[in-house]
Amino acid sequence: MKIIRRISGKIEDSLMKKNLEILLNEDIGTAYFSKDMEEDSHEYEMIAKIVDSHNLHDSIIGTKFSSQEILDSEILVFTGGRAFAYPQPESPDYLTNTYNDSCLYCGVFGEQENDFVIKKEPDLKKQKVMTLNWVFGELFAEINSYDLYFKPMGLDSRTLSLSKGGKIAEHVVQVIIPSLEKEIKMDELEFSKCPVCSRIKYIPSTIGFSPKPEIVDFNIVKTVEFFGTGHSANHKILVNHNVMRSMIEQKMAKLHQFVPCR
């Protein structure tokens, strides 16, 4: 696991520019620079020493897991397939049309009441598992992939409606993912409480492993908890080791779409 940091700042004078270019071994331009680097790199070790004296900004922007760390994990977060359409009507009203008890302020919602609606039959190319823009906690699958992969796993599906012509999509269904039976212990994660509906959502962290649930006897589940910032909230989708492996083997997902839990 590697922590990725971003160093950025205003280039105040030619001396500063020269010092930074010696450290980074590259041309950094003239007005402002920004560079991402691994926390345990020599480069970062050197630049960290001058962050304060040069008024630079240093922040963690993410975590890079090794292939082995992903492939060896018992439980992983599936961060979703490629987005294939926007939910209709566009944000944020699709929430109230789709779910019960949804809150437009924080984005938290209750049971799904209606099908998602998209504009028209999607042009899928080779995609097998997809996500809707803004809706990261729900999975959609090309119909054959659903029949061959998700259905035998015992997962139900529901149709996806098309706003043009009032029909349903022929090639895509929503895969119904059950909820995890229990909340995950997340003592260390920050959360916010909505001033309108009083429900809680966790700040999604990109640093390190994702929290692992105590219950692990599932194929695919959604977390009980919501994650998000601003007006957005989604459940996380968790998969077990075998599902991660088979989704990669069957070209439904790529390695980097999984975040190991620990």
Please give the residue ranges that form the binding site for Zn ion (CB under 5 A).
103, 105-106, 194, 196-197
Q: 155 or 197, CB closer to Zn ion?
A: 197
Q: 79 or 192, CB closer to Zn ion?
A: 192
Q: 23 or 103, CB closer to Zn ion?
A: 103
Pair 169, 121: CB distance under 8 Å:
yes
The first and second tokens of residue 168, run together, are 């349903």
CA atoms of 127 and 142, how far apart (whole Å):
7
**Smallest distance from the beta carbon of 174 to Zn ion, in angstroms?**
24
Q: Which of 221, 181, 225, 224 is nearest to 202 (CA)?
A: 225
**Smallest distance from the beta carbon of 173 to Zn ion, in angstroms?**
29
Pair 16, 54: CB distance under 8 Å:
yes
**Smallest distance from the beta carbon of 100 to Zn ion, in angstroms?**
14
Q: 38 or 101, CB closer to Zn ion?
A: 101
**Smallest distance from the beta carbon of 193 to Zn ion, in angstroms?**
9
**242 contacts: CB under 8 Å, gap ≥ 6:** 219
Q: 50 or 194, CB closer to Zn ion?
A: 194
Pair 227, 233: CB distance under 8 Å:
yes
Q: 92 or 208, CB closer to Zn ion?
A: 92
**Smallest distance from the beta carbon of 106 to Zn ion, in angstroms?**
3
**Smallest distance from the beta carbon of 105 to Zn ion, in angstroms?**
5
Q: C-alpha distances in angstroms, 167 versus 36, 114, 118, 159, 164?
A: 47, 14, 10, 10, 7
Q: How many CB atoms lie within 10 A of CB 181?
A: 12
CA atoms of 163 and 114, how far apart (whole Å):
13
